[in-house]
Structure formats: C-alpha cells, structure tokens
Amino acid sequence: MTKQLFKTKAASAARLEIASHLANAFSACGMHFEHADILASLDESSKPSSGELARKTFIFSKKYKVEPVRLVDCLHRRWTTLLQYIEKMDVALPYINFTLRYDWLSANYASLESAIKQLESVDLGRVVVEHTQPNTHKFLHVGHLRNTILGDTIFRLFRFFADDVYAVDYHGDEGAHVTKVVWYIKTKKIDLDKTAQDIPEATERSEWLGKIYAIANAEIDTLKSEGTEIGKELAQILRNIEDRAGEDYKIWKTTRDWSMEGFTQVYDWLGVHFDKYYSESLVSESSQKRVDEYLQKGVFHISDGAVGIDLSDEDLGFCMVRKSDGTGLYATKDIELAIRRSEDYDPDVCIYVVDQRQSLHFRQVFATLRRMGFEIGHRCYHLGYDVVQSKEGAFSSRLGNAISANQLIDRMILEATKVAQSKPEISEESVTQVALAAVRNGMLRVDPLKKVTFDAEEWTKFEGDTGPYLLYSYARAKSVLRKARSEGFAPSVSFDGRFFFDGMSSEQRHLMFLILSTKENLAKAAQSLKPSLVCTHAFRTSQVFNAQYTKEKVLGSGRNEQEVCELLLLYSVFCQFLEIMFSILGWSIVEEL
C-alpha cells in the first residue's frame, strides 16, 4: 500500500551512489548481495566524529551468513576504488562508519531545494486523508486530538510534495447519542435561545452539550432500570430528525451547529484545514437505498432478519449492513460514504485515520465494497493508532481524570505561560506557539501504534524531545544570523553552492549531512505513514546543531571573513530546514525566545 502511495527511491543521491560502489567492491571480492539490502544497511551515523554514514553488518550475517570481518577485509582490499567517494573508514563492529569526501558531497547537492523538496519519480496520485471523525453533541476528547494531529500531519506531509492531496472530516450527527440529547432538552424544556445568550462562546456550548449528553445518558439508564419504556420515544425522535421536520429536528439542527462551531474553534487553534466535511446525516438515507439495491442484486442476503454479506472466506465473518429492526449500522454509512467520496474525488488512495480497535470494521467495509464491485474498495487504507493515556494510566470518566480537547489545550497554554514567566524574553504572543508546538510534537513523536502518555509539564520543556526545544533551536540560530547582519556579515554564496567546505568540524559536517538527508527521511515517513520519523529527524538534527553551537563560536572567534560567512550559511540552511519541518509538523516559527 505504501508503495502505491509514494513511488520514490527513498534515498539520497549520496546514499544510492555509495551503495552502488559498495556493491561493486563486494562483488569483486566474490560476495554478491542484493542492492536493496546494501541500501538498507546504510544509515546516518549517530556519532559526528565517526562520519556521515554507518553500515550495519548484522544484516549480512543473518541473511547471507557473511561474517563482518570478511566485509571489512574486502573494503580494505578495494579501498583505492572507493577513495574518490569515501575519505575515511572507521570500523566499530557491528558498524562500519564512513566519512565522505566533502568535494564529492558538494557536487551531489546543488541547492537546499534540490536536496529536500524534489523527490525522484514522485507519483502520489490523488490522495484523500480522512481524520478526526467527532460525534456532534459530545465534546472533543483527548483521543480526538491525537487523531486530528496525526491525520493533519500526514496530510501536510503529502501536500508538501504534491497538490492533489485532500483532507476530509466525517462527523457522526445521528444515532443514539444525538437522540438522548434532543430528548433531554425537550423533556426539560431547556430554552436554547437563552442558553446561547448565557453561553456565548462556541467551545463552551460544545462542552455544555457534552455534559448534557452525560446527564441524559445517566437519566435514561435510570428510567430503563425502573422499567420505564423509553425506547419507542427515542426511536421516534430519531425518525423526526431524519424526516427533517418538527421540534426535534429544530433542536437537533441548532445543537448540531453549536457542536460544529466548537469543533471549528479547536481546529483553528491547531491550525487544521479540511477541504470537505461529510456527515452521517448526509449518507443515512442513500445508504439504506444502497442496501436495498444490493440485496436485490444478490450481493447482500438476509440472515436471522438482518441484512449483510458473508466474508468468512476472508476470515472477516458476517458484515451486517441492516439490523433486523430495519436500522443501519456504522458499516452501512461507511460503505455509502466511500462511494460518495469516490464520486467526489476519485482518489488513488483514501487513508482512514481511526483508532486501531476499528481494524476489523474497516477490513469488512473495504471487503464489502470490493464484493459490490467498487474499485474504491481496493484503494482504501486504515491507519490505526493507539490511545492517549495519563501518567497514571488510562483516561477514565469513572476515575475522574478524563479531559476534553479544550481542557487539554487550556492546560498546555497554562504550562507554556509558566515557562514564559521564568523566561522574560518569551513574548505573550509566542506562548500560544510554544503550547501548540508542545502538544503537536507530544502527540506525533510516538509511533502511531504505541500509546501516547500526556504530560503537559514534560511536553512544554525547552530541553529534550519536545516542540519547544525545536522552536528554541530555530530562535538560537536566528539570533546569530541577526547579530551577524548587524556586524556586516552575511551567509556566503560565493563558493558555487557548495554546502561542504574545507575546515568544517565533524559536527558541522554531520549537521549539514543530516539536513541534506531530509529528503529520504520525509520519504520514509510518507511511505510508512509515520510522522514520528519527521519528529525524530528534526530532533536529531537540532541536537547536532546545538552541540556544535555550544562547542564553536561563529562571531568573535578570530575566524576570517570567509570562514565566518561559510558558517553563517550553515546556520541559514539549518533555519530553512526547520522552517520546512515546522510547516509539516504544523506550527509556526518563533523568531525570538
């Protein structure tokens, strides 16, 4: 699936060429390895002093039964053929580290744009990313934030390379949770006009609806336990909403709009963009007609009064699309939604960012679409993710530690404000960006299939793997560039676009190489649908920058003008690198911290 999404050699020109020359050297020694394995064995070195590339030899020990010492011996014997590309080899088994020749590297990288933005053989096709999927009449919770940030960053990652990429939302505005809220408001004779005056803020009205849902749910459970028949009343409310008439529909429409306004405010704070909004109410009627059509065609069949399709030959069981009482299910609407979206966009790939616990559901939906003869069933992919938890464990209403998206955002702003108070150079305007970078990085830095532990205090720190650390790294480099300009210096462009120059320290070389390997790191992130790799690359590169910043002064260091200007270019390129990273990760630059 990922190859279909991103058809590119996810490797830099330097890594591809080094892999090719290593393959020739090993072949001359009688060892024949697949080129893909040689390429996979080359990675960025973790130690600047060891060079730019590190070769993992254990891959060959396991697959080809070749001992690492044989590889080292071969490279020593073929060393003269590699000298024009590799300056030095450092053996620290199971790794072999290579320091590359800076003049050859410079020839490979004509500009930052060619090194980062232009991928070879890019063929994304048309991509649609669906994410967030909130239910109206409930508040957005912390899990929605992970979904939203993950989906938005995948959208940004693909949009960085291509224009034919779209983000869509699908909200649940029908169902039992909605009827309960409408029932409660009508039963308690709540004046919505007065409520709107009392609660003017959209986010607060959205939170209010979430509280009403919890109260209504508890009251209905009590009535049922007392033997009160309320099911028919709730079913009638749902029918009234579907018929788009009467008091129930009016309550539904007003409160639905409140929910959407609240969601939009959260999206705006997060910097999230949607090209189109879909809803359950949009597809509920047509989905039932679709069931009738494919029941008549013989694709669906009736089992114990319910309608569905037997997918047991794919180990997916029975996919029900209509209950015995005639109502639809999530699968019914998701099938219709996929068809509707196919008509709207005709995507080559449609990515669903949804909790991993819904894996079976989507496998059934996609399989059913294929059985119905819809090509879109072959183009859909479910990207699952794990839950967000507190430091004490799972968030739970019962434990009293569950928090809404708005509460989380308020907590992040509070923590960022505390940090700002201890650092007077941080402006009030920058506090929001610090909070945004903290929450987005905190949600993104973990592999999607692993749990995220929410820790507002940890996420807002200016050290470690955090968004504020990346912001600080950028502001640090910018401050040097500003001071240099005030003293009459500017980044050098007089050496024909070379990014590597004589006299570079190992840290400076390593920093530039990491920046110029951004292209392949972004490609890996896109192929694997793991924005966490973008965070990792940004963090590693910033660590190397800060290490060399602390070790070597640029201004007032006794360097001549040419040397100062060359180092200023390194700082300028680093800033350009982080600007690209921030645009993908979803927060803005802060010039001064």
pLDDT tens for each residue of 223-257: 998 998 898 899 899 888 888 889 999 999 999 99
- pLDDT above 60 (res 213): yes
Q: Cβ distance 131 to 151 under 8 Å?
A: yes
Percent of the chain whose predicted confidence (pLDDT) is above 90:
52
* CA-based nearest residue to 127, from 351, 337, 299: 351
The rounded distance, in Å, linking the Cα atoms of 11 and 121 is 12
Q: What is the pLDDT of residue 494?
A: 42
| Average confidence score pLDDT of the chain | 87
* CA-based nearest residue to 252, from 145, 180, 146, 356: 180
- Express each pLDDT in 47-93 by its tens digit: 767 777 887 887 788 888 888 888 888 888 888 888 778 888 888 88
Long-range contacts of 555-558 (CB under 8 A, 24+ apart): 555/480, 555/483, 555/484, 555/487, 555/489
Q: What is the pLDDT of residue 349?
A: 94
- For tokens 């009638």, the residue is 236
Long-range contacts of 519-525 (CB under 8 A, 24+ apart): 519/12, 519/115, 519/116, 519/117, 519/118, 519/119, 520/10, 520/11, 520/12, 520/15, 522/116, 522/157, 522/160, 522/161, 522/584, 523/6, 523/8, 523/10, 523/11, 523/119, 524/10, 525/157
Bridge partners (DSSP) of residue 56 are 95
Q: Cβ distance 424 to 159 under 8 Å?
A: no
* CA-based nearest residue to 351, from 481, 219, 448, 419: 448
SS3 content of the chain, % helix, strand, coil (to 5): 60, 10, 30
- Express each pLDDT in 39-53 by its tens digit: 888 877 777 677 778
Q: What is the pLDDT of residue 502?
A: 64
Q: Average pLDDT for residues 163-167, to the nearest whole number? A: 93
Q: What is the pLDDT of residue 266?
A: 95
Q: What is the pLDDT of residue 96?
A: 85
Q: Tokens standing for 178?
A: 């909605």
- Express each pLDDT in 129-146 by its tens digit: 999 999 999 888 898 999
If DSSP codes are grouped into helix, strand and coil, which group holds residue 399? coil
Least confident of 23-37, 367-381, 445-459: 23-37
* CA-based nearest residue to 155, from 134, 124, 116: 124
The rounded distance, in Å, linking the Cα atoms of 155 and 531 is 10
Q: What is the pLDDT of residue 496?
A: 47
Q: What is the pLDDT of residue 1?
A: 40
Q: What is the pLDDT of residue 113?
A: 54
Residue 461, judged by CB atoms within 10 A of its CB (0-12, 13-18, 19+), counts as middle
Q: Average pLDDT for residues 466-488, to the nearest whole number? A: 91
The rounded distance, in Å, linking the Cα atoms of 79 and 77 is 6
Least confident of 5-19, 63-77, 111-125, 275-289: 111-125
- Express each pLDDT in 297-332 by its tens digit: 999 999 999 999 999 999 999 999 999 988 889 999
**Residue 189 burial (CB count, 10 A):** 6
Bridge partners (DSSP) of residue 390 are 393
Which residues have a Cβ under 8 Å from the Cβ of 28 and sit 6 or more positions away? 74, 78, 81
Give the residue with greater pLDDT, 507 vs 374.
374
Find the Cα–Cα–Cα–Cα dihedral 403, 408, 411, 412, rounded to 10°: 160
Q: Average pLDDT for residues 469-494, to the nearest whole number? A: 83
- Express each pLDDT in 94-106 by its tens digit: 888 888 876 676 6
Q: What is the CATH number of domain 405-585?
A: 1.10.730.10
Q: Cβ distance 586 to 149 under 8 Å?
A: yes
- For tokens 């903290």, the residue is 438
**Residue 198 burial (CB count, 10 A):** 11
The overall longest dimension of the chain from CA atoms, in Å, is 89
Give the residue with greater pLDDT, 110 vs 268.
268
Q: What is the pLDDT of residue 175?
A: 87
- Express each pLDDT in 406-416 by its tens digit: 999 999 999 99
Q: What DSSP designation does 83 have?
A: T
* Residues of each domain in the chain carrying CATH 3.30.1360.70: 2-100
Confidence of residue 112 (pLDDT cuts 50, 70, 90): low
Least confident of 352-361, 440-449, 550-559: 550-559
Confidence of residue 517 (pLDDT cuts 50, 70, 90): confident
Confidence of residue 434 (pLDDT cuts 50, 70, 90): very high
- pLDDT above 60 (res 120): no
Percent of the chain whose predicted confidence (pLDDT) is above 70:
90
* Residues of each domain in the chain carrying CATH 1.10.730.10: 405-585
The continuous run of DSSP H or E covering 187 comes out as helix 176-187
Q: What is the CATH number of domain 2-100?
A: 3.30.1360.70
- pLDDT above 70 (res 384): yes
Phi-psi region of 30 (alpha: psi -120 to 50; beta: other; left: phi over 0): left
- pLDDT above 50 (res 354): yes
Phi-psi region of 137 (alpha: psi -120 to 50; beta: other; left: phi over 0): left
- Express each pLDDT in 532-548 by its tens digit: 999 999 999 999 999 98
Packing angle, helices 428-444 and 246-270, rounded to 10: 100
